Homo-oligomer: A and B are copies of this chain.
Amino acid sequence: MPERRKRATIREVAQATGLSPAAVSYALRGIQTSEETQERVRAAARELGYEAHPIARALASGRTGMVGLLCGSLEDYWQQSLAVGISRSLLARDRYALIVDAFNDPARELSLARQLRDQRVDGLIVQPLDPSAPLWAELSETVPVVSVGDALHGGRSQGEVVFDNRRGVTLALEHLRDLGHRRIAVLTPTLASTPDRPADVHVNAEADRLRLDAEVVVAPQALAEATEVATGLLRGPGRPTAVFCFSDSIAYAVYAATRVLGLDVPGDVAVCGYDAHPMSALLTPPLTTVDWDIDGIVHSAVRLVVDVIDGKPRKRRVVREPSLRVRESTARP
């Protein structure tokens, strides 16, 4: 282990300038002190190689400069991009993200949320697997919580970036219906519990309304496993004419399955994704998918959480509307 050299402290800077530690603390933050003093302090700090100690600062001030980011499943490429995007965006605002992955398990999600709170994050961005958990209410008394995706039930958050999933499902299913598809399979990620996932509800309701014969099948996030499920689904003569995947990652697995089975997309089966991962445009054929504007989501979420942390308490709700990016993976049956 390397020997840790002693760093200069605020007291040494105080000594060097003949000021009190308090004055130095203020001066370094540019408050409560004259321009001239600030300059002197800065010079001395540079001289001594002084660097602020975020941990000490956090303990004294109660703010750590960290935001917890609780993801549903980082197996999913879109969620990876979302996490990376949020992390970058927070860094640009001088904060760090603590990224954790719930592995699609609502129980683990709750335990991780508690862990992040105990870590004293200043705020929490969560992609709730179980928006109705009472824990959210409890958490948001202690720390600002912003949800992304679904809204937490009963206003249990200080902010929310809501995806209008119903609209997204409608866009996709109407598109497939308009092309003439009637027998449509829906592949949605595994969820360990929360059987009444809103997405599924929307799918069923919409399918009913559009008079489609939709079968909802649960698929794992991991590519290999999802490919197996998709292969099973598409094997045999009674296969659906179209597959709507509730995430682009799963659509990739369907592509893999069609290759295994020697099926043509969109000739034998139309595929529609959900997320619009940049990569989806590069597949052959380019994937038709529901686009959520990831940059906008990143921006809204970070903005919301930072605003609440900084004490601009306007509780706000941002609803994102999806758009359908029609490419070449869907066609008439």
Contacts and interface: CB of A to CB of B under 8 A. Distances in A.
Interface of A: 1-5, 51-56, 58-59, 62, 64, 74, 77, 80-81, 83-84, 87-88, 91, 96-101, 118-120, 140-144, 158, 223, 252-253, 255-256, 259, 278-279, 281-284, 286, 308-309, 311, 313
A158 to B, nearest CB: 7
A74 B99 CA distance: 15
A311 B1 contact: yes
Contacts of A74: 84, 88
A62 B4 CA distance: 10
Nearest to A52: B118
Given A84-B74, A100-B91, A2 B282 contact: no
Nearest to A87: B99
Contacts of A279: 77, 223, 252, 279
A308 B88 CA distance: 28
B284 A54 contact: no
A154 to B, nearest CB: 15
A3 B283 contact: no
Contacts of A119: 54, 96
Contacts of A255: 282, 284
A62 B88 CA distance: 27
Q: How many copies of this chain sit in the oligomeric assembly? A: 2
A287 to B, nearest CB: 11
A229 to B, nearest CB: 15
18 contacts: A1-B144, A2-B144, A2-B158, A3-B141, A4-B62, A4-B142, A54-B119, A55-B59, A77-B279, A84-B99, A84-B101, A87-B99, A87-B101, A99-B99, A252-B279, A256-B281, A282-B283, A284-B284
A54 B278 contact: no
A143 B2 contact: yes
Nearest to A100: B91
Contacts of A3: 141
A115 to B, nearest CB: 9
Contact of A80 (B2, B53, B81, B100): B81
Contacts of A120: 53-55
Contacts of A1: 144, 308-309, 311, 313
A62 B253 CA distance: 46
Contacts of A96: 98, 119
A223 B278 contact: yes
Nearest to A286: B259
A219 to B, nearest CB: 15
A84 B80 contact: yes
A288 to B, nearest CB: 15
Contact of A118 (B51, B87, B141): B51
Contacts of A84: 74, 80, 83-84, 99, 101
B2 A142 contact: yes
A240 to B, nearest CB: 20
A159 to B, nearest CB: 12
Given A1-B311, A62-B4, A223 B282 contact: yes
